[in-house]
Amino acid sequence: MADATAPSTLQELPPPLLINLRGDVGDSAFTSAVAAVLGVAPPDAPNTVAASGELSLLWLGPDEWLVTAPEGTANDLAERLETALRGMHHSVCDLSAGRVVFELAGFEARAVLAQGVSLDLHPRAFEPGRCAQTVLARVPILLHQIDPTPRFRLFVRASFAPYIAEWLKVAIAGIAPAT
């Protein structure tokens, strides 16, 4: 857990398991099969997250989610989803190698992000359990608020990761009080 008194901290997380999942959330067979494999059904409300332990399903669209799990999670998760969803309209695609995940935390994290996103990040509008596809410093990202510290996860295409890391470091430095 991040230190709530620290202005903001940034770290790159170990490469997580990331699976793009598509299907019909209105089909009870689909949601039941996903829940049987993942321990949680996909959320149907926009920009919300469903979680089971350290595994999360982030809503990306009416028929699309990002499954996230820590490094070292069962490598056969995509295969188990494919097996459970056989015969149903669906898509399962491992995106793990193409994304980098940063964690930004601390009481100034919202102010850091506000320098480069157009989202309303006020706690009444964007709270733990929320996610959004947005643009940070002209780069598409997926933003997920983990807890009220606040602590955010930023999912970035690997090719943009060095730029976003540097941008965030400069933004943090610009907010940090002078010593």
**pLDDT value at 3 more than 60:** no
Last residue in a domain, options 97, 114, 137:
97
**pLDDT value at 1 more than 90:** no
Q: Considering the domain boundaries, does residue 91 fall inside one?
A: yes
Q: Considering the domain boundaries, does residue 1 fall inside one?
A: no
Domain shared by 136 and 70, yes or no: no
Q: Locate all alpha helices (DSSP H) within the chain, ordered by sequence.
A: 28-38, 77-85, 109-114, 161-175
Question: pLDDT-based confidence at 7, cuts 50/70/90?
Answer: confident
**pLDDT value at 91 more than 70:** yes
Query: What are 24-38's pLDDT values in tens digits?
Result: 999 999 999 999 999
- Number of alpha carbons in the 13 Å side-chain half-sphere of residue 95: 18
Domain shared by 69 and 125, yes or no: no
Question: pLDDT-based confidence at 137, cuts 50/70/90?
Answer: very high
Domain shared by 26 and 74, yes or no: yes
**pLDDT value at 154 more than 70:** yes
Overall pTM surpassing 0.85 (yes/no): yes
Contact residues for 22 (Cβ-Cβ < 8 A; gap 6+)? 63, 64, 65, 90, 91, 92
Structural domain boundaries enclosing 164: 9-13+98-175
Domain shared by 112 and 169, yes or no: yes
> What is the domain count for the chain?
2
Q: Locate all alpha helices (DSSP H) within 39-133, ordered by sequence.
A: 77-85, 109-114
Q: Considering the domain boundaries, does residue 64 fall inside one?
A: yes
Q: Considering the domain boundaries, does residue 3 fall inside one?
A: no
Backbone phi, psi, residue 5, to 5° = -90, -15
